[in-house]
Structure formats: C-alpha cells, structure tokens
Amino acid sequence: MYLEFGVLMGESSSLWTVAVPAATAACVLVYFLLPDERERAIRRLPAPSSTLPLLGNTLDLMSLELPRLHDWIVEQCKAFGGRTWRLRVIGAPPLVVVSSVECFEDVLKTQFEVFDKGDRMNDIFRDVAGDISFGLQANALEGGQHTDFMEALGRLIHHVEMRFHSPDWLWKLKRALKIGGEKELAEAVEILDKTVFMIINKNMERKFNPDAAANEWSARPPRTTKDVVSLFLDAHDEQRASGEDDGEAPLDANFLRDIAVVVLLAGKDTTAWSMSWLIIMLNRNPKVETKLRQELREKLPKLFSDPNYVPTMDDVENLVYLEAVLRENLRLNPLVPLNAKEANRDTTLVDGTFIKKGTRVYIPSYTLGRMKSVWGRDASKFKPERWLVQDPWTGEQTIRPVSAFQFVSFHAGPRTCLGMRFAMLEMKTVMAFMLSKYHFTTKENPKSYTPIFSVDDSVLPSASQSLTTGGHEYFRPSDDQVWGLPGNSSFKFFRSPCPALNTMANHGHIPRDGKALTPEILGDALMKVYNIDKKVLDIVFQALPPKFTLADLGDPNFIDHDASLVHVDSYFQMDPFKANKTLINELLASADEAKGVITTRTMARFRRRREAESSRDNPEFSMSALASFVANGEAAFVVLGLGDSTTATISVEHARSFMLEERIPVDFQRSKAPVSVSKMLFTIAQLKFLAWLD
C-alpha cells in the first residue's frame, strides 16, 4: 500500500503543482470580489450606471485622470440628486459619497469622534511624516537655494496622493519591492530627512549649547523672527518652568519633525494655487476685475500713487468685495477637492444611511461647490455677489454668513484650518498690491485651463492646447481622384484605411496628396493634432519604411484588417480607403442616447458584433493576435485620440465628422492629457474585457 500510494503521488505531482496555485488564486479572488458585511450594509444605496459585476467601479477610477475624476463625481452626485451613493473598488474598503450640507456637518462635526482618518490613512502617511522647513529659506523667487529639498517635497506630496488612487495592496507591494513611484517616494523621504534633521539639530544646538554654535551662526545676518523649531523649544521651556509639563518626555528631533510637517504641508503652494486660479477667473470674468479695481481706488487710493504705501490690517479687512471674490474662487477651485473619513464603529448618518465600521466616506468639497441644491441654479457660475449682503439702512456691504459645512474650502468642524484667517489676509494683501499695479493675462485662453489636484512642480493650473482646423483649409478630394492600395501611382491623391490620418491630409497637417511621407512627418502631425505620446508612435512606427504613402498603409499586412469599424473586409474587393457609411451610421446609432457619446462599452459591443459578422460572412476571415490588437487599438484611438482621453468617450457629432466627412470638427480640442502607452494598453484591455463580459 505504501508503494502504491507513493507511485500515485509521484504520478500526480504535476497536478498538485497546478492545483495549489490555482486554489490560492481562487481564494484571493474570493477575498477581493465577494462582498463583506460592510458592502452588504450599503447595497441599497444607488451606484453609478457604469458599475460592473464583481469589478464594481474599479475600471472607472483606473481610467479616469485628474481632474476628470472629480468632474465624474460631480456628475454622479447630480444624477443622484444629492443623495448618498456608493462606490466599489477592488482592494479598497466599501466607499460611500455624501453631497449634502447636512451629511457634511454630520461627518465633520456631529459624529466627529466616529469618523477619523482610519488605519489606511495612517498607513499612507506613516513612512513619510518627515519634512519641514525649520528656518529653511527656499528663496523661490530668486531661483535660490535648497532646490533638492523643495523638489523632493514636491515628489513626496505627488506620490502620497497617488496612494489614494491605488489599491492598498498595489502600492504596498511596490513599496516592498522598492519599484516605481514608491521607490521615488523613499528617495524623496531620505533627502527630506537628511536636510530636516540637520536643521533641527543645529537649532537645538543653538538653543542648548549656544557657545558651540556661535561661530557658525555669527556670520549669518541676525534673525528678527523665530522659526518653528525655536518656537516649540521656547514653549516647551516655559511649560517646564511653570510646572505644566506633567512629566512629559523631553523634546527630540523626531517629535519636532512630526509636529512641524503640518506647517510646511499646509502652507506649501496653497496660496499660490488659489491666487493663480483667481487670475484665471478674472480673465474669464473681466467685469469682476473692473469692480475689484474700483473698490481698491475708493478704499486704498494710495496703493495706486505711493509705491511705499503699506496698508494696515484694518485697511485690508475692509476690502469686502475682494474677500467675496476670493471666497467665490475658493468655492469653485478648492485646494483639497476630496476628503476621506473612515468609520471606527457602526453608525447611521443623518440621512438614514447605515454605515458599518471600516466603511470609508468621501467628502467632495469640489462637488459641493457645484451642487444646485446647495448654491442655487447658478452654482457653476463665478458670481462674487452671492457672498454679499447689503444693510438696508446704511447701504454698507458685508460678507454674507455661510455655514462652514456649505463652504468647506478650509474644512469644517473641530479640524477647521487654523490658518484660515491668515490665508485670507495674505491673499487679500497680495492681490490688492498686484491688482493696483498690474493687469495679468493668461498665456492661453482662460477657459482652456483645468485644475491639476497635486502639489508638485505642475501645481499651477494646466492649459489644454486647443486645436480646431488650425488655420488649415479643409479639402476632401472626390473618390475618383483617390487610390488607397499600394502599387498604383497614377492617382493624384492617396488615402489610407484610417479616417484620422485622412483627416489630417484633408486639412494639410500632412501632405494633402498623401505622398512623400516619413515617420517624422506623420509623427509630428499626430502629436500636434491628436496629442499622441511619442512613445506610442515609437511602437507603432517600428514597421514603417523611411518613406511611404498613405496608400501603402492599405496593405492587409499592416493596419488594414478584417472586422474593421468603418470598412468591409478586403475579401469583398473594396478599396480600403472607402469608409462604409452603413457601418459608421450603425456605430453612431449604438451610442449612449442619453449622453450623446460613444463610450468604451459602445466600442466593445460593436467590435464584438463586427467580428461575429465577418466570421459568418467572410470565408477567408482572419483575426490573428496581432490583428486583434490592431483592431482594438483602432477602437481605443477613436475614444482617446479623437475624443476625450480623460473620459474615454467621443461625442456622436465628432465621430460623424471624423469618420464620415474626414474633417476636424470646428469645436474640436485635442485631448488635454497625452494619449500614452499605458492609457492605450489599458483601454485595449478594457475593450476586450467588456466585449467578453457582454
């Protein structure tokens, strides 16, 4: 029996080799995909229409880029009429989103003790709480010193923010393997700690051993103000001298570092962000800028005539309209667009939503500032007058009192920003000086700027480069003038199977005749017109010869393939440059009627249908792995390059213009974010998954 058992085990060892990993993978999938009691508790809440079985909203959040993510949350909150709704992301705890003043107050104040930052927030920040400018002068306006420190601080903030947009297991795995953004984060922390501890130690040495530090510090100009370290050391000394320290442990460098990190992070770029957005809003609303200058001339006329004049704090506080403008700017452009809390015990929100312990609650201040139910029918309009109230007897205008849970740019409840008054005073003072002496004009169209919610070297608003016809006259040759296959040079115009390339030729972004092309000419045009990342082009252009024509691309072994979105198969002897109007109209008709857009789901369904039709009708139908990749890449390019890469959608009108007319729509703007390799690969994978799911 022993021998038989041993032989049996030996023969089935390969089975065990497969079975054990498979069982492990199955357990992991069950752990991540099956709902737990927290998810079951919120199952009755509404969810976005894009929510998928098992995956929930994972694909939504992975495909959305900032700031589109926050606009998407706004859309969902409006769709649900301000009611609480739920999100599900693989690897993250259950999520609910609140979008009413009552729920904001409930979470931030009434149940403050119930909703804290949670273990995940502690995990995110635990290994990065080491950066503060203790007497460190960045001299940013002079281009000066400590650039490594400030650059490291920017990288730290950026990579910490990325943890919020990644499943916990993923960033923790990257941290353990020391790869990607987590590797850069660790390097940034090392630079920060080295600089910070050096400054802390010098301050402590100056405090407790002044003679030893005298030589080094004597050469420096005397300081008229104290830095954070000195203030804490002085306060600690006073506390101990008065006997109020209650036996607390003496201060050390780690404690000082952790306390003061709040000061630097709270002040880094925050006012710069707000004032930059204010300049953009004034460019969008010139009448507001005119009224601001009028107030300054009436209340602080010396600002315009005396270069040495410095207004008092009372003078600045009296600038009521300027404060209204600043508040309106912060309402629409908050520095922190989304906050998160986690329930530390079971509770029920004021609207009746039952929340299990461990459920995360999203508090979107960016969304609340755009809710008509909170700010009225003109919520999306920049209107400083909404903040003003006029005394009927004196005619004096003052700031209208608004609940802190309605205007949450400075947070609310026990954790209201301590520097709120200082920040407002600082911005009012700086803007008063600037507007009394300068008129600022944005480099791009002010309406083209979109916020980037990350405090890094691109903290200021980002301008999208708009492109319509680019000044290039549209001309489309007739079919009898065009050829779309290799080997015939008698035709005046060559065109390809790709409407997007033909569109560029029709507008003259590449040679109008479709001849004498090089990878460089075509690549420059694709980057200029559709914002295709160069790395994508490097991959796609590997098979291109040094010189070619658009007709050369009609070779069945290149970009032409069976089951195309816009062409019938080459088996039916059709010139591949000729788009099939019936197919295109059927694609347009399958769009999301409610929104008037073609989505990745629309594309996935149509791709699956086309492959089924070609397989049925074409006896020579072929769909190799490469052809399948090209076909799905074609569909991905439509929504990313011709549409909006942040939402992976294209409007029906734009799709019709590109595909049927091969013409750039008059109101077309190329995608704000470059169409990157990762974005293309993700969208291709998404298309394949959605096609399989349907």
Residues forming a β-bridge with 343: 115
Average pLDDT over residues 622-643: 84
Among the listed ranges 166-175, 296-305, 468-477, which one has the minimum average pLDDT value?
Answer: 468-477
Residues of the chain with CATH 1.10.489.10: 479-693
Average pLDDT over residues 112-119: 71
Cβ neighbors of 447 (< 8 A, separation 6 or more) are 284
> Is 27 a known ligand-binding residue?
no
Cβ neighbors of 466 (< 8 A, separation 6 or more) are 445, 448, 669, 670
Task: Please list the alpha-helical segments (H only) found in 165-269.
Answer: 168-177, 180-208, 210-218, 228-241, 253-267
- Check: CB of residue 152 under 8 Å from CB of residue 160: no
Give residue 37's pLDDT. 81
Give residue 439's pLDDT. 85
Cβ neighbors of 680 (< 8 A, separation 6 or more) are 536, 633, 636, 637, 640
What 3-state DSSP class applies to 52?
strand
Among the listed ranges 26-40, 199-213, 220-234, which one has the minimum average pLDDT value?
Answer: 220-234
What is the C-alpha to C-alpha distance for residues 522 and 537, in angstroms, rounded to an integer? 9
Residue 615: burial class (beta carbons within 10 Å; 0-12, 13-18, 19+): middle
Give residue 130's pLDDT. 33
Give residue 693's pLDDT. 74
Question: To which residue do tokens 């600002």 refer?
Answer: 303
Quick one: tokens of 430? 């700086």
Short-list 377, 379, 351, 353, CA closest to 366: 379
Q: Residue 684 pLDDT > 60, yes or no? A: yes
- 270-334+369-463 sits in which CATH class? mainly alpha
Cα-Cα-Cα-Cα dihedral of 172, 176, 177, 182, to 10°? 60
Among the listed ranges 266-280, 541-555, 668-682, which one has the minimum average pLDDT value?
Answer: 266-280
Give residue 22's pLDDT. 57
Give residue 71's pLDDT. 84
- Check: CB of residue 298 under 8 Å from CB of residue 290: no
Short-list 58, 99, 92, CA closest to 77: 99
Cβ neighbors of 605 (< 8 A, separation 6 or more) are 590, 690, 691, 694
Among the listed ranges 271-275, 448-452, 504-508, 564-568, which one has the minimum average pLDDT value?
Answer: 448-452
Residues shown for the chain: 694
- Check: CB of residue 510 under 8 Å from CB of residue 525: yes
Give residue 236's pLDDT. 66
- Strand boundaries in 275-349, DSSP class E: 339-343, 347-348
pLDDT confidence bin for 294, thresholds 50/70/90: very high
Q: What is the pTM of this model?
A: 0.56
Residue 78: burial class (beta carbons within 10 Å; 0-12, 13-18, 19+): middle
Topology, domain 479-693: Chloroperoxidase (1.10.489)
Average pLDDT, the chain: 77
What is the C-alpha to C-alpha distance for residues 630 and 35, in angstroms, rounded to an integer? 37
Residues of the chain with CATH 1.10.630.10: 270-334+369-463
Q: pLDDT tens digits for 176-226?
A: 888 888 888 888 888 877 777 776 777 667 666 656 555 544 444 454 455
Give residue 330's pLDDT. 93
Are β-strands 397-399 and 339-343 bridged in parallel, bridged antiparallel, or unpaired?
unpaired
What is the C-alpha to C-alpha distance for residues 96 and 361, in angstroms, rounded to an integer? 5
Quick one: tokens of 282? 């004034």
What is the C-alpha to C-alpha distance for residues 554 and 571, in angstroms, rounded to an integer? 13
Q: pLDDT tens digits for 472-503?
A: 577 888 777 777 776 666 778 888 888 999 99
Give residue 394's pLDDT. 83
Q: pLDDT tens digits for 655-664?
A: 999 988 898 9
Amino acid identity of 584?
I
Give residue 465's pLDDT. 33
| Secondary element (H or E) of residue 302 | helix 302-305
pLDDT confidence bin for 384, thresholds 50/70/90: very high
Q: Residue 318 pLDDT > 90, yes or no? A: yes
Quick one: tokens of 124? 């995110």
Other beta carbons within 10 Å of 617: 12
Question: To which residue do tokens 């979109």 refer?
Answer: 450
- CA 341 from chain center: how many Å? 20
pLDDT confidence bin for 401, thresholds 50/70/90: very high
pLDDT confidence bin for 423, thresholds 50/70/90: confident
pLDDT confidence bin for 412, thresholds 50/70/90: confident
Hey, which of 21-25, 132-136, 643-647, 658-662 has the most confident mean pLDDT? 658-662
Give residue 131's pLDDT. 33
pLDDT confidence bin for 544, thresholds 50/70/90: confident
More confidently predicted of 276 and 167: 276
- Check: CB of residue 598 under 8 Å from CB of residue 666: no
Among the listed ranges 140-149, 534-543, 593-602, which one has the minimum average pLDDT value?
Answer: 140-149
Question: To which residue do tokens 């602080």 refer?
Answer: 300
Short-list 159, 435, 165, CA closest to 275: 435
The number of C-alpha atoms within 13 Å of 425 and in the hemisphere containing its C-beta is 10
Average pLDDT over residues 537-566: 78
Q: Residue 531 pLDDT > 70, yes or no? A: yes
Q: Residue 430 pLDDT > 50, yes or no? A: yes
